[in-house]
Structures are given as C-alpha cells and as structure tokens.
Chains A and B, each alone.
Chain A
Amino acid sequence: MLEISGITIRYGPFLAVNAIDLRVNEGEIVGIVGPNGAGKTSLVKAIGGIVRPDAGRIVFQSRDLSDVPAHLRIGLGISIVPEGRGLFPRMSVEENLLMGGYALASAEEMARNIERCFALFPVLAERRRQAAGTLSGGQQQMLAISIGLMSTPKLFVLDEPSLGLAPIVIAEIGRTLRKLRETGLTVLLIEQNAKLTCSVAQRIYILTSGIVRHHDTADRVMASPEVLEHLI
C-alpha cells in the first residue's frame, strides 16, 4: 500500500534521513522504532508532505506522492497524527473532530464518524464542548487518534502516541490500537516505546541516525531483546 524507496532528507548540512526503504502492506500494522533524532518524525513529515525529501520516492497505492501537496494527501486516504498530537487547543473537542473530517465531502459520513469516535472513546463524548487544550494528556491522545480516524483513512500514521503519557494510559492506547487492528485498518506506528510497538505491530523497522538498522517481524524482535538493546 505504501512504498518508500531511497528517501533522503537534509536540513542544511545535517542529514536527517538517509536513503530509507520501507513498505507497508494493506491491513498490516508496521512499527518504526528508534531513539530521539533517528529521523522518525522527518519521515512522517515527508509522508505527510510537510517536508519535501531531497531524494527518493513515496508511492501510495501505486501513486507517486512527490507532486501531491500536503493538504491533498488526506483525500487519497493517508491520515497522520503528528508528534505533539496535532490538536487545535482553543477549539472544542467537537470542533477538533470536525477539523479531523475536514476533507470529507458528506455531512452524513462526518456525523457517522463522530459517533464512531465517541463510541471508541466515551470520555470524549462527555467533554465534547470542552476546549481541547484543557483535556488531560491521555484524553488529548484519544482525541488525536479520533481526529486521525475522522477522515475514514486507508493508511493511519501515528507519530509517538505514547509521548509524555503515564504507563497506565500507554496501556490504554495499546488496547485501542489492537482494537483498530481488528477492524482491518492499515497502520504505520512510529514510536520510541519498543514494547508498546511490538505488542501492536506485525513488522518492526528499527531506525537510528536516519538509517534502517534492522527489519523483522514483531515476534522475532520481541524474542531477541538484545538486538533492540544493542541498536537503541
């Protein structure tokens, strides 16, 4: 579904991402694990069209994305929840969800998706009028995931959903992601938290200093924790 080949991103003299190849198949959950500064977020920005890569190609459903501007990628079915959650802090929960479905053409689908999100996270329904910036960290992350789901995506990209959350909340996020896996959604999960990622994803890429160091199934990565420890 998503095919990344030879992507390179530079900021001046600094090489953030160095010729990465990566592949996500339909219905699959793929995890990217790596430490701070590994180039994970740059990669997400390139998929989202926020940063233009210096080299390489991103192909989504056999369509080359290099000429597709950021705001049109969501229409193709790519939905990204960026690092820092990408909320609109002074808008209410409901308005945030409406923004999540900004690309939707039909009001019906919008209403349906909002109901689905409220079903997934009932706490959001309770707080639908509250400003997003005043929610707790965990609730904000739930809202972020809901926003991402609002556009009925084909590919769901999550950047660091566990960042700054308490372990108990991280566990809850994990449960949610596994629930999403059952619905057949294709997910690209970018995380520092390898344990969470391995518990959700089927395949894992390990990224450090802008290079893919290791690539394997989640089970095998879990089975040999020394690889992880060595690399991260």
Chain B
Amino acid sequence: MSDTTLIILLSTITTGLMLGLIFSLVAVGVTIIYGSIWMPNAANGQFFLLAALFAWSTSVSWGLQPALAALLVIGSSVPLSYALEILLVRRFYDVPNRNISYFVLTLGITQILSGIFSITYGVWSDQFQLPPLVPGVTMLGPFPIANNRLAAMLIAAVLLAILFALLRFHRYGRALRAVFQNRDAAALRGVNVRGIYRMSFVLGNAVIFAGGVLFACAYSFDLTIAWTMAITAFAIMIIGGPGSVLGALVIGIVFGLTQAVASIFASPTIAAFAYLGAMLIILLFRPSGLFAR
C-alpha cells in the first residue's frame, strides 16, 4: 500500500471514530433522557455548545489547565441539571403527552440560551479554540495525528465504555433500563421512578456536556454547531431506537464513519442527503428504530 493510500485510509478511520464517538456521546445523552422521561430535549445542541463555550472560558479566559477545565465544565452540568429539574422538568412528570410539553419547554430554553450566547460570546469572536489537552503529534506510520485529538478520542471512548458498563451492570443502570422498558413494573419492584427520572436527566446532560467539551478540545467551533448537533443527535436516536443506548452508540459511530468515507468518494453534501435518506427508508421499514425494544 502506498503512503498516500495509507494516509487517506488512516485519516478516514480516525476522523470517522472521532466524529462518531462525539456523536455517540451526545446521542446517548439524548436517548437516556428521551427513553426515561420522554423528553425530546431540543436544547441538547445548546447544552453541547454551552459546555464547549464554558470550556473555552475556563481554559482560555481564566487560564485553567485544559484537563481541569474539562472536568469543571462537566461537573458544572450537575447543579445546572438539578436546578432545571426542580424548576421546570419535574412539573411535567405526570402530564399526559408530556413529550410535547417538554419539546416546547426545551425550545424556549434553546431560544434563551442562543440569545445569551449571541450577545456574550458572539460579540467576542466568530470562532473559538481551546489550547491542546496534550501537545505534539504522533506518527501512525506515515500519517501524523495530533496527540490532542488522540487524547480526546481516547477519553470519549473510555467515557462511553464506563457509561455502557454502568447501564449494563450496575444496579442503578439496571433500574434506569427497567424504567425505560416498563415504568409501572419498575415502581412495583421498588424503583423510585422519580428518582430515576432525575438521575437520567442529570446523567444525560452530563454526557452531552462531555461531548461538547471533547468536541471543543478536538475542533475549533462556532455558535452554529448547536443546531447541527441537535439534528444529528435526534437522527441518531431515531435510527438507533429511542431509549436504546446501544443503538445510539452503534449508529453514532456509523454516522461518523459514513461522513468520513463519503467525503472521499462523493461530495459531502451528497453524503448528507444519503444518510438522511437512509434514515427515512429505515424508518419506513422499522418505524421504531434498529435497536428498539
């Protein structure tokens, strides 16, 4: 294999994995929240951006160590989620068709956050870049890859693995899945359903925040990523099956790899058409998603 081919092959794989892991993180966050509380969180893109911007502030403006800044930001999602849960989310737990109430609610939050961003961060720059987590470049054979990106990729993979293990093997994870699958039965088995709701809201947002922080570490970003990410996360959730963490994980990585591969062989716009079209076709034949219950 010539160096050129190898470089393109390796760059495709790394790009696909990098994007895929971030897509997966956000989609897992979205699907955990939708699967348990039925909350289609339209604000997930804004939360993602909030995390990225906050990471930028802490590491660039306040001069914190990037790793420390990342932890701080992800940690900050917890009080934020709690406050939102107590103020707004909790009110709708018993409302019929609450997914629609939640959708309106999160659209309101989206509007507020995007308004705040454009008059704060939007005034400072049209693009944001974090200092690298790890400086330097590693050679994968002939292909040079920034250590920073390798680190972000690794952290994303580890986070997803921890999350997966938590949901699969831990008592709380099992309770969470039980609530996804059969709320009343879970309550009868002693699961505090409201407690699980709260936990999944907090956990889901933390995961979305982690996605935002890692994205900010790996790429420069601007305020337009919010909607792109929101739509992508919804699309992944639909195809993977709402509430299915495995679905979000697999489809997220497939999305990332598709984007990377398609960008070599076809115009990336055609690629976007192709995978959104594929989504529609999958939905027509498996309306509840590929990994649905």
Interface residues of A (CB under 8 A from B): 48-50, 69-72, 74-75, 79-80, 82, 86-91, 95, 98-100, 102-103, 133, 147, 151
| B174 and A82 within 8 A (CB) | no
Knowing A87-B182, A102-B171, the reply to whether A75 touches B177 (Cβ < 8 A) is no
Inter-subunit contact A103/B190 (CB<8 Å): yes
Nearest CB in chain A: distance from B46 CB, A: 31
Q: Is the CB of A90 within 8 A of B293?
A: yes
Query: Closest CB-CB distance, B172 to chain A, in whole Å?
Result: 10
> How far, in Å, is A99 (CB) from chain B's closest CB?
5
Whether A102 contacts B187 by the Cβ 8 Å rule is: no
- Residue numbers in A under 8 Å from B191 (CB-CB): 71, 99, 102
Inter-subunit contact A147/B177 (CB<8 Å): no
Checking A49, A69, A102 against B189 with a beta-carbon cut-off of 8 angstroms, the contacting residue is A102
Complex CA–CA separation, A3 to B191 (angstroms) = 25
**The one of A80, A95, A151 that contacts B174, using a Cβ cutoff of 8 Å:** A95
Shortest beta-carbon distance, A78 to chain B, in Å? 9
Q: In whole angstroms, what is the CA distance A98 to B171 when docked?
A: 9
On chain B, the residues within 8 Å of A82 by CB distance are: 184-185, 188
5 A-B pairs with least C-beta separation:
A86-B185, A103-B190, A74-B190, A70-B187, A71-B192
Residues of A within 8 A of B192 (CB): 69, 71
Residue of A nearest to B185 (CB): A86
Please tell me if the beta carbons of B190 and A151 are within 8 angstroms of each other in the complex.
yes
Tell me whether B189 and A99 are in contact (CB under 8 A).
yes
A69 — which chain B residues lie within 8 A by C-beta? Answer: 192
Contact of A102 among B184, B190, B195, B293 (CB under 8 A): B190
Q: CB distance B189 to A91 under 8 Å?
A: no
Q: How long is the Cα–Cα vector from A74 to B192 in the complex, in angstroms?
A: 11
Tell me how far the C-beta of B97 lies from the nearest C-beta in chain A, rounded to whole angstroms. 17
Report A-chain residues with C-beta under 8 Å of the C-beta of B193.
Answer: 70-71
Q: List residues of chain B with CB under 8 Å of any chain A CB.
A: 171, 174-175, 177-178, 181-182, 184-193, 195, 293
B181, B185, B195, most chain A CB atoms within 10 A: B185
A75 and B195 CA atoms in complex are apart in Å by: 16
Contact of B181 among A50, A74, A91 (CB under 8 A): A91
**B188 — which chain A residues lie within 8 A by C-beta?**
48, 50, 70, 74, 79-80, 82, 86
Asked if A75 contacts B185 (CB within 8 A), the reply is: no
Q: B184–A88 contact, CB under 8 A?
A: no
- CB proximity of B289 to chain A, nearest CB, Å: 13
Chain B min CB distance to A186 (Å): 17
10 pairs of residues in contact across A and B, judged by CB atoms under 8 Å: A70-B187, A70-B188, A74-B188, A74-B190, A79-B188, A82-B188, A87-B185, A88-B182, A98-B174, A102-B175
* B182 surroundings in chain A (CB, below 8 A): 86-89
Q: Quick check: A89 and B293 within 8 Å, CB to CB? A: yes
User: What residues of B have a CB within 8 angstroms of the CB of A87 in the complex?
Assistant: 182, 185
Closest A residue to B291 using CB positions:
A90
Are B189 and A151 in contact (CB-based, < 8 A)?
yes
A72 to B192, CA, bound (A): 8
Chain A CB count within 10 A is highest, among B171, B186, B189, B193, for B189
Q: In the complex the two chains form, is B190's CB within 8 Å of A71's CB? A: yes
Interface centre among B178, B184, B190, B195 (most CB of A within 10 A): B190
